[in-house]
Amino acid sequence: MEINWNRKYNTIAMYSFIIIASSILFFLVLSGLDKFIRVLGSYFSALTPFIYGFVIAYLVNFFLNFFNNQLSKIPSMKKIKASRFHILSLVLAYLLSAFLVYLFIAFIFPQLFASIAGLVRNTPDYIRSTTVYIKDQYNDILLPPEVVGFINDRLDQLTLFSSGIAQGLVPMALSVLRNTALSVWNLFLGIIISIYMLAEKERFINLAKKINYGVFSVTIADEILVIARRTQQIFSCFLSGKILDSLIIGVLTFIILTLVSMPYALLVSFIVGVTNIIPFFGPFIGAVPSVIIIFFESPTMALWFLLIIFIIQQLDGNVIGPKILGGSLGISAFWILFSILLGGKFFGFVGLIIGVPLFVLIYSIIKEIVEVRLKAKGLPLDTNDYMDK
């Protein structure tokens, strides 16, 4: 039976049915939200190798573009076919990536593993010695019996908790080993997928353009391509800038901590360097576990570390970070700080990382729209021209 959509009651009935069905579906999803998320996660877990592959391909693409630009300057390379030239650049990009991974595994990873193993092995002793130290301190202070009993109970629970951690290290290690093996397998598949992605990069890009122009009008499709290119440029600048910034901060932290004979200098520097991917607040986030690690070894050194990390954060936030990110992204340090706080408020930890490039993208689009409207009205585009208005 054909429904006449112009008839009033048929239209109202159909819209009512759609709303009621959507409401029931929404209620069913919410009532079994945990199960729904688990089922959805199980399906998305199948895409993990492809996510790894995309991330690896995106990172290796920096080296691929570098070799493409450098090899194209060699006269003899101009005689090679484009496909062979691309394959040569791809092989060199993966060889350089493999070499950097080898350097990390051969020189940095063993020391990191030894530091972590020593920290885990000594954690129960650290907690016991700290407990004894605290008891000795408050025994010299006149406290009410209720307070003393409360503190003793909490310290005894802390000791039992540390002993339980030590006993649970074996099953925990087995679980970590299993997850690591699964991650290594997904990583291996991701590497293979990334090779296919980069080998067929131009084909995938052209296919995306074809779908874009097939679905949307030519005008809208052109605008989508402009925004896509701008997004790629902004995120590439941010990623390369943050990698360089984090590398500088990590190396600088390691040099300073080594000079002052700080315990676990390499491990702490690695934590600070990795968390520095979060602009401004990265060193502070990395400082929290680092202070705890150093405190068990030497409380005095922990205080010195806080001073050192504060100075490094000031140097990064006021000099290094704005010089690298502010120049590459085209915004001031104020807007970088604003985007970090706003992104962290709405999107949590992920927002702290993607807040800056996402804000720059939105900022550039709004700026372009405003300038087009100002030009249509015959008004000046320079911000300084509006100072006296």
Q: Residues 60, 93: contact at Cβ < 8 Å?
A: yes
Q: Which residues does 315 contact at the CB level (< 8 Å), separation at least 6?
A: 252
> Which carries the bigger pLDDT value, residue 313 or residue 17?
313
d(CA 385, CA 2): 63
Name the average pLDDT for the chain.
Answer: 76
- With 70 as the cut, is the pLDDT of residue 79 above it? yes
| pLDDT for the residue numbered 327 | 54
| pLDDT for the residue numbered 1 | 46
User: Per-residue pLDDT tens for 30-49?
Assistant: 665 566 566 666 666 778 88
The mean-pLDDT minimum among 44-53, 132-141, 227-236 falls in 132-141
Residue carrying structure tokens 């700026």: 367
Rg of the chain over CA atoms, in angstroms?
Answer: 28
d(CA 48, CA 51): 5
The amino acid that residue 335 corresponds to is: W
For 378: left if phi > 0, alpha if psi spans -120 to 50, otherwise beta; the answer is left
Domain boundaries along the sequence of the chain: 8-42, 47-199, 217-381
**Tokens standing for 157?**
């629970």
| Helix locations, the chain, DSSP H | 8-31, 33-45, 48-71, 82-103, 109-139, 145-167, 169-199, 201-215, 218-259, 265-275, 282-297, 299-315, 321, 327-329, 333-376
| pLDDT for the residue numbered 94 | 92
**Tokens standing for 234?**
């902004």
Total-model pTM? 0.65
> What are the φ/ψ torsions at residue 264 (nearest 5 degrees)?
55, 45
Mean pLDDT score, 109-117: 74
Most confident of 27-36, 221-230, 311-320, 351-360: 221-230
| pLDDT for the residue numbered 95 | 93
Of the chain, the percentage scoring pLDDT greater than 90 comes to: 5
Q: How confident is the model at residue 112 (pLDDT cuts 50, 70, 90)?
A: confident
d(CA 302, CA 206): 55
Mean pLDDT score, 299-326: 81
242 burial via Cβ count (<10 Å: 0-12, 13-18, 19+): buried
**Tokens standing for 210?**
């074809």
| pLDDT for the residue numbered 389 | 60
Q: Which residues does 251 contact at the CB level (< 8 Å), separation at least 6?
A: 269, 273
Mean pLDDT score, 152-163: 62
